[in-house]
Structure 1
């Protein structure tokens, strides 16, 4: 695809920091004669060093067959920063041999070392570090050499902020390139035809699904079938497919949706568009990224794919259905949102807003116990007129094969004599963390029930320390839900990272442990409360009478209610700083119903109005969201206590700095509704020393000003700010104060906007290759408000020129972003 480099962005990369000392000029040097005797003694040879820039050269021809390198500019030393590309340029006669060698400093890999033009990627350093490189030329016995000094500073954001905009393209800084892969409908198996994008396409079991969400890169060896965790040029992209833009999947939109009866072919297409995709991607000539349609490991996991249950809930009566009479197996995964990973090379996908897919009529009370009804209501599998047949009405399909239960499973009503005669328990089969081995299609995905059943947004691991029990951090994405942590019962063994049977290692660490929920205190402290049957009021005597630990895990929300966890403003993605171990959590937003003026607390402190649109429609509550972070006591995943503060408050730059724009965001930094969250990998300079934090938005409150965006940050640490008291404002001008804990305000050097997406999209899903030179960013549901006849976006077709045909339908896809000079993205 094209480079998007609007002049309005006014980009300067700041890579070249010349040494303006009183060196001799080019003209002065050219006026001097350099004798053969001086050459043989190695004197007077000087080279130029630049950062990704070309230089002019001059040579002294008034000599006897050999010219040493001469000054090509005033630069004999330079300053750069970690992760940036450094070019070393020398000039000598064409007949001479030329080479570059490193003389001092941490060892780097020199590209083009046996030529006049060499380069290297500045490594990660914690303080300013000196490097010396020597340019050596020779012709027979005559040699000459000169040194270039390079100072490398710690990593820093190395781009000019992208301006807010409402363009129908992915906007990135000057000096970066956008390519597109994994568009909705792209074929990922042999003989599957190209996607026509007119609603007539079928077979999404072998195509990329819709609404691409969280993603992760898994390196591939040269064979294309084995794991190579270090590979940055060939790998598997594992991506979630959360939902669908149903109007674009059919020629003229869906038939009878959702009320039904729905056509079988349409429902099959919609179901198969959900789940997970695994595709082989690779970098080719000119850094062109492509997907191998016939990749040996390409596959889809859909809501129809066989899965197995592991952990404490396996075999429980709560999982039994007519399809799974013993409660050990099931079908597929749905509404997959954020993700996680493991050091042993498996993918973790999380089932989020699954409750709305099920049918429950208002009469679905007979045959239900009061306990069942309490649980169904708490998880949103409600009955009544608002959603009587489920989001898409799949349960209304009459299949051609009368024995098929592919559609019947979405009917959660009591229709049989027992749980094994119908699908009343099918909702209990959703809402789990699911582990997948992307390298082995022969093993069914495993639902890890020890991690609890929620509206799982993500499941990100903390540090793996030998001898310590690892942990995964999870948000439950609904207003007033909670932050959870699962701590394995097994201490980490480093050799398990390279085990051949990866899902067996998952059994070892993910099937037994303790699930905790967070409680935040006003003084900046916090506690992890265990959700264990028989403890902290989680007993048969509770309002919801728990029967055993399986009941606790199936109904983790109810257990968290009992122990007094802190309700949060839509807890979504978690991310863990790979250097400090601190945990970050996006709190996307809340409204006046979820967080009224009198309902704020220190961890969710704001209540205000941010009017939106030309009509200035009121938005009371916390419409712009915030990002909270916590530091485990003793810096260990095993901790049961922590300290916390609020790293950033989302807000428009023009809002009240004292009480709304608490972080003091400028026009280059302001954002709303943080959602995706990711720290750069520790395998490259962006994830070392002071790692980059990437913040993605899924916004409805600020889209009258700008499309959704991706920001890059270098955050400090918990406690780098202090106490603050905010004055909140409700309807009618009523006010109330709320004390909280805030992080240090960002500066222009520590937070800026890196990307703005196309119209009506959500920016979600991000990872990089291990070397950090390529990042993958999910662009979800562009044009979600349009119709088949009048799409409101045309991305990604619009990426090349900014426009596309008026009836071209938008597609979710992955933007592949690289830096033109080959450096680490963001630095």
Structure 2
């Protein structure tokens, strides 16, 4: 998610929970903690080819079976640059496949890209983000090994105001209300695209007239499932029983299921709403709930778009002011129907998306499935993308039955509506605990001082408050996660935290507090890092784990004692790691979201490839005065820059076909911060060749690009 779109005041965690500083003062010797076989995985990882040992499906490679991990990367590092183009290694080509405004129906005209196009419900949304490739057979059924035809599910996170409307800005009528046509366009620009793609005679293309093509938007009807279904805090005029809602918002990261469905995740949904009521009009509990989710008496935030000023129930629901005697007569509870994981069946264009409340409600960055093994639970890892927020884990109560692999949303009912929700606590000895967020456990009951939890549904609505109550560990903006198909270890990016002050002291998992290059003030962790952990006993349902810090972002020329702890060079330095993904060979792909990366040569955002090793391949380290544990130093042989994007963009979302010969990458909001008079970018241009510069006069567009090797070989090797 773009930092420029992220609220400057998104820290609503005032819980005062324990930071790592207090617990790491008593840290035990790290090498003793990690003794006992964890280094075996590291040895196998780099000793030639390591066969995948987790079994079942992995979270990489478009659902293809895990294969073998290479012992070297096969391309030269791409130099940092500020070009308005996509830069790749020699021997690679890319072209734009599916850009904002592209039609997904044969009845819709080509996109003129001048702000006047209609039919927005049948066009690509804006700001492409998380993405997953689902293989499709010749007969139109699921084929997870097909590398030449498939369905791409693509998130559309936000709207780039500078270029979406005809005159480059939002317009209002004589009464100061938004124009209905513009609001419709913006609401349809959010959500998800499902499109058919295929490798044809002229290369990869999307199929404009496919029966699978579909848009899920802010208008789409959705079911609410799981423990919060029917909860009184989900009552609205649209659904007095609290069982249905409309739309999904700010879809950032994603996930997929072993039964072939897509998970889209609602991130910064909270600031789309307008609240103008007096706090006395709500209960103490509801005021605590809304405040903890960034919605005080005036909740209009950085994503607020005045949609509520348009006449009509589907628009006025964004005004959440208490106006009536009951919640069934106004939309005071509408925000409580957002903040969830949404399951979509890409193979059924008429199916209803399901909001799966059992996985908790917060600022969901994504949902990443753990190793899938017959007879064991289905596990998902999740991060809450705000400063000082938490890392979560969901464990299904049902054990995986491979017969459910074709059950679609019915399998979702089984595995995603009934399970245990946990939040992470990191301990002084290098271990960690998963604390269950279950009703009646760990003080989560009606007598809780933070919030009166009366059932599991309350916990699933007020998840942040439940995590506060059990003493979870605050983290630096948990973003994307990924699960290594080689050894089952889990990685998560902590993008940055510029809100850290002397009061918010450093800790072992967030050990840096220094001035960003070119600034004079100490502002915490401006360059971000990636943490990882291994479940005890390699058991996905374990309630304890071991952790270390894999990689620190920093400019190559930054102070190695404070910032460039991982020893980055010009071949691999980066800042604000965000997107994260393992392919089915165990190669880790890291995407950045740091605007124009400062330091040793400025650069647009980028994507790197890495051979990551394993937990325990490094050792103890003191950064400033803070003790921590870091992974093995990065080298150009183990971490290397693969791609640099065009001006103003974020690189986010990546997947490959199961044969690893085609890569899909999203380029989000090129030209952000510009205007029609002074556009910062004109990428990708009408030529569709993502390697050429934009053409004068074109408005920039978010787009999915397709990358191949010129010799047809595997990507990255």
TM-score range, shorter-chain basis?
A: 0.7 to 0.9
Secondary structure, in 3 states, of the residue corresponding to 1:431? coil
Is residue 2:317 matched to residue 1:414? no
Q: How does 1:94-493 map to 2 (within 5 A)?
A: 154-223=70-139, 225-256=140-171, 260-285=176-201, 288-361=203-276, 363-384=277-298, 387=300, 391-398=304-311, 404-493=312-401
What is the Cα deviation at residue 488 of structure 1? 0.3
Name the larger-Rg structure.
Answer: 1
Is residue 2:402 matched to residue 1:494? yes
Q: Tell me, in whole angstroms, the C-alpha distance in 1 between the residues paired with 2:171 and 2:222.
A: 31
Check the 8 A contact 2:120/2:188 in 1, yes or no.
yes
Equivalent position of 1:149 in the other structure = none
What is the Cα deviation at residue 583 of structure 1? 0.3
What is the Cα deviation at residue 387 of structure 1? 2.6
Equivalent position of 1:639 in the other structure = 542
What is the Cα deviation at residue 808 of structure 1? 1.4
Pick from 431, 443, 465: which aligns with 1:525?
A: 431
Structure 1: 5+ residue stretches without partners: 1-80, 84-122, 127-153, 399-403, 682-686, 728-736
Equivalent position of 1:719 in the other structure = 616
What is the Cα deviation at residue 125 of structure 1? 5.8
Deviations 1:447-475 (Å, cap 9, x if unpaired)? Answer: 11100001000000000111111200000
Check the 8 A contact 1:624/1:701 in 2, yes or no.
no
Equivalent position of 2:674 in the other structure = 786
Secondary structure, in 3 states, of the residue corresponding to 2:184? helix
What is the Cα deviation at residue 602 of structure 1? 0.8
Pick from 701, 706, 710: which aligns with 1:816?
A: 706
What is the Cα deviation at residue 619 of structure 1? 5.8
Check the 8 A contact 2:363/2:384 in 1, yes or no.
yes
Deviations 1:558-611 (Å, cap 9, x if unpaired)? Answer: 0000111111000011100011000000000001x3454652111111101113
Q: Tell me, in whole angstroms, the C-alpha distance in 1 between the residues paired with 2:653 and 2:366.
A: 11
What is the Cα deviation at residue 346 of structure 1? 0.3
Deviations 1:719-765 (Å, cap 9, x if unpaired)? Answer: 111111110xxxxxxxxx11111001122211100000000100000
Pick from 558, 577, 585: which aligns with 2:484?
A: 577
Secondary structure, in 3 states, of the residue corresponding to 2:279? coil
Secondary structure, in 3 states, of the residue corresponding to 2:524? strand
Q: Tell me, in whole angstroms, the C-alpha distance in 2 between the residues paired with 1:257 and 1:534.
A: 50
Equivalent position of 2:457 in the other structure = 550
What is the Cα deviation at residue 306 of structure 1? 0.7
Check the 8 A contact 2:500/2:523 in 1, yes or no.
no
Q: Tell me, in whole angstroms, the C-alpha distance in 2 between the residues paired with 1:198 and 1:545.
A: 52
What is the Cα deviation at residue 247 of structure 1? 2.2
Equivalent position of 1:151 in the other structure = none
| Cα gap change, 1:700 to 1:382, in 2 (>3 Å) | farther
Check the 8 A contact 2:501/2:523 in 1, yes or no.
no
Q: Tell me, in whole angstroms, the C-alpha distance in 1 between the residues paired with 2:176 and 2:528.
A: 37
Equivalent position of 2:581 in the other structure = 678
| Cα gap change, 1:222 to 1:755, in 2 (>3 Å) | same
Equivalent position of 2:58 in the other structure = none
Give the aligned length.
649
Q: Tell me, in whole angstroms, the C-alpha distance in 1 between the residues paired with 2:176 and 2:159.
A: 18
What is the Cα deviation at residue 367 of structure 1? 2.2
Q: Tell me, in whole angstroms, the C-alpha distance in 1 between the residues paired with 2:292 and 2:551.
A: 30
Deviations 1:408-465 (Å, cap 9, x if unpaired)? Answer: 1111111111001011000000000011000012220001110000100000000011
Q: Tell me, in whole angstroms, the C-alpha distance in 1 between the residues paired with 2:436 and 2:82.
A: 46
TM-score by length of 1: 0.76
Check the 8 A contact 2:273/2:304 in 1, yes or no.
yes
Check the 8 A contact 1:260/1:393 in 2, yes or no.
no
Secondary structure, in 3 states, of the residue corresponding to 1:764? strand
What is the Cα deviation at residue 700 of structure 1? 3.8
Check the 8 A contact 1:389/1:395 in 2, yes or no.
no
Q: Which has the higher contact order (CA 8 A, sep 6+)?
A: 2
Structure 2: 5+ residue stretches without partners: 1-47, 51-65
Q: Tell me, in whole angstroms, the C-alpha distance in 1 between the residues paired with 2:77 and 2:302.
A: 46
What is the Cα deviation at residue 380 of structure 1? 0.8
What is the Cα deviation at residue 354 of structure 1? 0.2
Deviations 1:20-46 (Å, cap 9, x if unpaired)? Answer: xxxxxxxxxxxxxxxxxxxxxxxxxxx
| Cα gap change, 1:508 to 1:244, in 2 (>3 Å) | same
| Cα gap change, 1:703 to 1:290, in 2 (>3 Å) | farther
Check the 8 A contact 1:213/1:778 in 2, yes or no.
yes
Is residue 2:393 matched to residue 1:503? no
| Cα gap change, 1:179 to 1:390, in 2 (>3 Å) | closer
Q: Tell me, in whole angstroms, the C-alpha distance in 1 between the residues paired with 2:403 and 2:656.
A: 25
Q: CA RMSD in A?
A: 1.9
Q: Tell me, in whole angstroms, the C-alpha distance in 1 between the residues paired with 2:120 and 2:598.
A: 31
Q: Tell me, in whole angstroms, the C-alpha distance in 1 between the residues paired with 2:192 and 2:343.
A: 11
Secondary structure, in 3 states, of the residue corresponding to 1:470? strand
Equivalent position of 2:19 in the other structure = none
Check the 8 A contact 2:596/2:603 in 1, yes or no.
no
What is the Cα deviation at residue 516 of structure 1? 0.2
Q: Tell me, in whole angstroms, the C-alpha distance in 2 between the residues paired with 1:226 and 1:618.
A: 57
